[in-house]
């Protein structure tokens, strides 16, 4: 049958079978009309429409009601396709990356900034890796990892943070509160991350709750406590504050909440030296620019005088610095510095395995429960060291016979215990010869151990192949054997 294709003011007839597909019609147009398209088809493509509706490539002409003498409209459309995609293990979605700059020369740090802006997550909460599982470091470029156009990268977060970040992205305060870490340092970092995400996505309820808990919108997110010893090499955006991301994301209500809570947020500067007003101007958010400019140009009325807002902010900033300095000098001999301690985890890029595989909190607590259940198993009964046959009989006799029998028994115990250590090193089954006291659930008062340096027990258990209870039995058995010498 003959149909007519209307293209750029001309109408050309084509003889096609009724069951011809739309995709074959597009190819026919490319060959006969010489339509210039890009080689990979990423930017420009053909679209056939009939009756005002776009036709799909898999459809046949007769199936959509195209008959002899019908006119089909042909258009050339341009579409910006993503240069790459990032699969987020937190949300399960794929984030498209739209960039006009040359992809091979883009740095990983720049790519993480783009991903952070589109996902709402701070750069210190995730890592990027190739489809082969190779981690991308901020100091390198994408061409160092042979990443091509169209590659799908993977975004992973810290182990045990999956439910917490999902609650932050949805703005659910109860979920965020129930999935906070038990470590105080990690929990403080999590709360600052939650305030950053709430400012980025506009969760007023979550942001207000975090401000009531004492968080500050003018404080940077920073790095994870595992990385604070190597913070000199951290990403530049780790110094970005929640007020800055609120200005970038055009969250006017969040900005008003932050400024109402503390006026110092108006003078807070990001790593590039920009205050919230400059950030809003560069991103073209008129409402935020108008509100911030009015605030900075306003006058603060005090009891006996009035000051311009900029001068008031400078005075308040000086007062705040003086109060913090005085508080630190007053408390430096009273309380210990709240920082990392011996035994805490330390992560260095390229040297240690990062704990960022997006494991859920349930998966993280399951091994510890199994270890605890194994440690609570009853120990085998003691039959050798405390045998009844070794105890002296209480038969009647004179005093001399008793002394002679006691002397002979000491010699037997000494000769038997001389080879006990050798036997322990050869036979691991002889370690459980000392009975530990039964485990009690009662609350026993313990001394203050805040200044005692304790190492975690899990690495020791992994190294020795024994649970903490079995290791205690091992040490007590050796101590008991040495007491007889």
**pLDDT, tens digit (0-9, with 9 covering 90-100), for 436-474:** 555 555 555 554 444 444 455 565 566 667 777 787 888
Q: Contact, 37 vs 27, CB < 8 A?
A: no
pLDDT band at 105 (very low <50, low <70, confident <90, very high): confident
Q: Helix (H, G, I), strand (E, B), or coil: what is residue 471?
A: helix
**390 vs 165, more confident:** 165
State residue 208's pLDDT score: 94
Q: Give the strand pairing for 152-157 and 126-129.
A: antiparallel
Domain spans of the chain? 2-78, 180-319+342-351, 380-440+455-483
Name which of 17, 35, 16 is nearest 74 in CA terms. 35
Which CATH class, in words, describes the domain spanning 2-78? alpha beta
Confidence (pLDDT) at 155? 94
Distance CA 19, CA 62 (A): 6
Q: Which helix (H) or strand (E) holds 84?
A: strand 84-88
d(CA 10, CA 23): 21
What pLDDT, in 10s, does the model give residues 39-58?
444 567 778 888 878 888 88
Which segment, 15-19, 119-123, 298-302, is predicted with the most confidence on average? Answer: 119-123
pLDDT classification of 332: cutoffs 50, 70, 90: low
Helices and strands: H and E segment counts in the chain: 16, 11
> What tokens does 450 get?
């805040």
DSSP 257-309: HHHHH-GGGGG---TTS--HHHHHHHHT-HHHHHHHHHHHTSEEE-SS-EEEH
16 pLDDT higher than 70: yes
Q: Judge whether residue 282 has pLDDT over 90.
A: yes
Give, as one character, the DSSP assignment of residue 147.
-
Q: Is the fold of 2-78 the same as that of 180-319+342-351?
A: no
The residues near 126 (Cβ < 8 Å, ≥ 6 apart) are 90, 112, 115, 119, 155, 156, 157, 356
* Torsion from C-alpha of 140, 144, 149, 155, nearest 10 degrees: -50
- Could you tell me the pLDDT band of residue 79, with boundaries at 50, 70 and 90? low
Contacts of 252 (CB under 8 A, 6+ apart): 285, 287, 288, 291
User: What pLDDT shows up at residue 481?
Assistant: 73
| 207 closest CA partner among 132, 260, 135, 161 | 260
Tokens of 217: 């919108």
Paired strand residues for 141: 107
pLDDT beyond 90 at 423: no
Q: How many CB atoms lie within 10 A of CB 434?
A: 19
Q: pTM of this prediction?
A: 0.63
The mean pLDDT of the chain is: 77
Which pLDDT band, with edges at 50, 70 and 90, does 77 fall under?
A: confident
Fold of 180-319+342-351: 1.25.40
The tens digit of pLDDT for each residue in 364-417 reads 665 544 444 444 444 444 444 444 444 444 444 455 555 666 666 666 655 555
Q: What angle do CA 167, 170, 176 make, to 5 degrees?
A: 25
pLDDT in tens, 200-251: 999 999 999 999 999 999 999 998 888 877 767 788 999 999 999 999 999 9
Contact call for residues 220 and 238 (beta carbons, < 8 A):
yes
pLDDT of residue 156: 93
Q: How would you classify residue 92: left for phi > 0, otherwise alpha for psi between -120 and 50, otherwise beta?
A: left
DSSP state of 438: P
> What is the chain's length?
485
The pLDDT assigned to 393 comes to 44
Whether residue 225 contacts residue 340, with contact meaning beta carbons closer than 8 Å, is answered with: yes
Average pLDDT over residues 310-329: 79
Nearest C-alpha neighbor of 456 from the set 296, 307, 346, 363: 346
């Amino acid at each position: 049958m003959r149909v007519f294709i209307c293209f750029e003011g001309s109408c050309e007839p084509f003889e096609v079978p009724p069951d011809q597909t739309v995709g074959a019609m597009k190819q026919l147009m490319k060959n006969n009309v010489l339509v210039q398209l890009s080689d990979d088809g990423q930017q420009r493509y053909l679209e056939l429409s009939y009756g005002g509706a776009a036709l799909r490539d898999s459809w046949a002409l007769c199936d959509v009601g195209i008959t002899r003498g019908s006119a089909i409209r042909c258009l050339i459309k341009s579409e910006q396709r993503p240069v790459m995609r990032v699969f987020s293990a937190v949300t399960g979605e794929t984030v498209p990356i739209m960039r006009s700059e040359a992809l091979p020369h883009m740095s990983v740090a720049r790519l993480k900034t783009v991903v952070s802006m589109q996902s709402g997550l701070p750069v210190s909460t995730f890592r990027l890796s190739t489809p082969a599982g190779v981690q991308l470091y901020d100091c390198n470029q994408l061409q160092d990892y042979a990443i091509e156009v169209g590659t799908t990268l993977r975004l992973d977060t810290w182990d045990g943070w999956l439910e917490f970040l999902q609650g932050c992205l949805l703005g659910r305060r109860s979920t965020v509160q129930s999935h906070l870490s038990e470590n105080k340092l990690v929990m403080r970092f999590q709360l600052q991350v939650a305030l950053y995400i709430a400012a980025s996505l506009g969760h007023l309820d979550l942001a207000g709750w975090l401000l009531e808990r004492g968080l500050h919108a003018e404080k940077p997110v920073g790095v994870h406590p595992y990385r604070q010893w190597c913070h000199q090499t951290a990403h530049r955006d780790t110094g970005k504050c929640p007020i800055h991301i609120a200005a970038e994301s055009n969250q006017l209500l969040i900005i008003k909440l932050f400024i109402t809570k503390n006026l110092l947020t108006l003078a807070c500067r990001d790593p590039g030296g920009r205050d919230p007003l400059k950030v809003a101007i560069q991103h073209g958010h008129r409402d935020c620019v108008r509100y911030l400019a009015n605030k900075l140009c306003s006058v603060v009325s005090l009891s006996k005088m009035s000051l311009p807002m900029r001068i008031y902010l400078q005075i308040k900033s000086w007062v705040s610095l003086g109060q913090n300095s005085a508080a630190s000098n007053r408390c430096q001999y009273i309380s210990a510095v709240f920082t990392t301690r011996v035994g805490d985890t330390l992560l260095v890029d390229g040297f240690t395995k990062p704990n960022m595989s997006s494991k859920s909190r349930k998966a993280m607590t399951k091994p510890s429960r199994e270890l605890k259940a194994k440690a609570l198993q009853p120990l085998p009964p003691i039959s050798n060291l405390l045998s009844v046959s070794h105890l002296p009989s209480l038969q009647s006799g004179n005093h001399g016979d008793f002394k002679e029998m006691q002397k002979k028994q000491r010699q037997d115990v000494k000769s038997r215990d001389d080879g006990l250590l050798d036997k322990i090193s050869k036979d691991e089954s002889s370690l459980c010869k000392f009975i530990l006291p039964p485990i009690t659930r009662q609350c026993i008062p313990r001394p203050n151990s805040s200044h005692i340096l304790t190492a975690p027990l899990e690495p020791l258990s992994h190294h020795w192949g024994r649970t903490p209870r079995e290791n205690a039995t091992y040490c007590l058995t050796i101590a008991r054997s040495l007491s007889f010498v």
